[in-house]
Structure 1
Amino acid sequence: MELLSVNVGRPRPNPWKDLRNTGIDKQPVDGPVAVHAPGPKGTGEVGLAGDRVFDVKNHGGADQAVYAYAREDLDDWAAQLGRPLHGGVFGENLTTAGLDVNGALIGERWRIGSDVVLEVSCPRIPCGTFQGWLERDGWIKQFTRAARPGAYLRVIEPGDLCAGDRIEIVHRPDHDVTVALVFRALTLEPDLLPRLLIADALPQEGKDLARRRSARDHG
């Protein structure tokens, strides 16, 4: 398992939301990139040096410090869309190879290179900026149906990342709640929400939603 590219955003105008800029335009960078745990959501901070988010209500913060997407899934989307997709084009910070990102368990930990440890937190939920960026009508629905959202990660141990770094899974929790399962529960299959309660590392918002659904189902 390998880190193919480390991708950092450059601000660009956002005509798809009521925001001045977006950081979705991520490009591969040469050399090491420092990774750190950001502040809480609302500041615009993320985990990679030189990167940030502008939709501070919905993105950034400790639970969404780093976003990873698999090269294998990008290649499949490239075939479906009929266009090449470079690393970072989905707004991901890390483009991986040989790693089942969507099958990763919530709370699973990855060591990347010699220093950095990241923890799987939650899936990415597509938005209007993502659809506009790809210039494809109906993209949100298409992406949602596929249930290959990629994973947001927390920074457990900071350090430097570089393209070519080895990725090692160093911890897998004792449950079956995957990134793809959480995504399905939060989008098209809300009946799955109570299953998420066993995933201690799920962000609080997801836990609260799962508890409300479970209480409703058993009320």
Structure 2
Amino acid sequence: MTGRVVAVNLGAVTEAEWAGDPSGRSGIDKRPVDGPVLFRADGVAGDFIGERAHHGGPDQAVYAYAEEDAGWWATELGRDIRPGGFGENLTTYAVDVTGAVIGEQWQIGSALLQVTKPRTPCATFAGFWGVPDLIKRFTVRALPGAYLRVLRAGEVGPGDPVQVVDRPTHGVTIGEVFRATNLEPELLPRLLDAPDLPESIREKVRRRLAAR
């Protein structure tokens, strides 16, 4: 089955005590839009990002989360989770987001995206959902979703096919990076095989390996 975009979601400005930005504003509450949206190297047009110290930037221009993984959480928590409920720009279907290889390229609409890194759960996410132990539960579940670079700007809309047009042979996946950095440190050496992994993560890996 060909993967597709279920929804493209943009963040509205939310003011809350749990917002991580010093201004008390967050863009984690993302809502589906009806038509195509321009994806650029610096992010998604019209998307509000509050805490830019930890969100946004070229290596985190787009965040994708699988509808199937969201469904597991809906059952686990006994509540509906609409598209955008994870703060994702792209809600996907039939796309193996956790199994995506670091550096693989997705053609969606007229944009070309590249998988870079997993999402790290934060207190803002827990506050938005009102689940105090969400960080621990999200980490243990290890279905973090994927950040992507925009290699070629273009428009992406709901219903667009997601085509994997290039996949590196090193095989280091989003799930493996997440488990290595959070749950299974014995996997850390593998991460250095992925040249497209952001340098900030590669440097942290080198420091942790040197400290052993």
Task: Give the residue type in structure 1 aligned to 2:33.
Answer: V
- The structure 2 residue matched to 1:138, chosen from 91, 113, 133, is 133
Contact 1:14 1:129 in 2 (8 A): no
Pair 1:151 & 2:146 matched: yes
The answer to whether 1:78 aligns with 2:74 is yes
Report the AA paired with residue 77 of structure 2. Answer: L
The structure 2 residue matched to 1:187, chosen from 171, 179, 182, is: 182
Q: Does 1:15 align with 2:17?
A: yes
Distance in 2 (CA, whole Å) between partners of 1:176 and 1:34 is 30
Q: How far does the alpha carbon of each residue in 1:128-173 deviate from its partner, in whole angstroms, 9 at most, with x for none?
A: 0000101112111000000000000000111101100011000100
Aligned twin of 1:164: 159
Q: State the secondary structure of the residue aligned to 2:86.
A: coil
Q: After the TM superposition, which residues 1-219 of structure 1 pair with which residues of structure 2 at under 5 Å, given as runs?
A: 1-16=3-18, 17=20, 18-38=22-42, 47-113=43-109, 115-217=110-212
Gaps of 5+ in 1: 39-46
Offset from partner CA, 1:54-73 (integer Å, 9 cap, x none): 11111110000000000000
Q: 1:20 Cα deviation (Å)?
A: 1.7
Q: CA deviation at 1:215?
A: 2.7
Question: In structure 2, the residue corresponding to 1:211 is in which secondary structure?
Answer: helix
1:110–1:167: 8 Å Cα contact kept in structure 2?
A: yes
Tell which deviates more after alignment, 79-88 or 185-194.
185-194
Alpha-carbon contact 1:193-1:209 (below 8 Å) kept: no
Query: What runs of 5+ residues in structure 2 fail to find an aligned partner?
Result: none
Cα offsets for 1:65-102 (capped at 9, x unmatched): 00000000001110111001100000000000000001
Report the alpha carbon displacement of residue 176 of structure 1 after superposing the two structures with TM. Answer: 1.9
Superposed displacement of residue 32, structure 1: 1.1
CA contact under 8 A between 1:194 and 1:213: conserved in structure 2? no
User: Which amino acid is 1:6 matched to?
Assistant: V
CA contact (8 A) 1:52 1:60 kept: no
| TM, length-normalised to structure 1 | 0.92
Deviation at 1:186, TM superposition (A): 1.7
Q: Any conservation in 2 of the 1:108–1:173 contact (CA below 8 Å)?
A: yes
Q: Deviations over 1:153-200 (max 9, x none)?
A: 000111101100011000100112110111112212223222100000
- Distance in 1 (alpha carbons) for counterparts of 2:164 and 2:137: 30
What is the alpha-carbon distance in structure 2 between the residues aligned to residue 13 and residue 216 of structure 1?
Answer: 40
Q: Secondary structure at the match of 2:192?
A: helix
Secondary structure, in 3 states, of the residue corresponding to 2:211? Answer: helix
The secondary structure found in structure 1 opposite 2:107 is: strand
Instruction: Give TM-score, length-normalised by structure 2.
Output: 0.95
Runs of 4+ with >4 A deviation? none
Give per-residue Cα distances to partners, 1:86-121, cap 9 Å, x unaligned.
0000000000000000110000110012x1110000
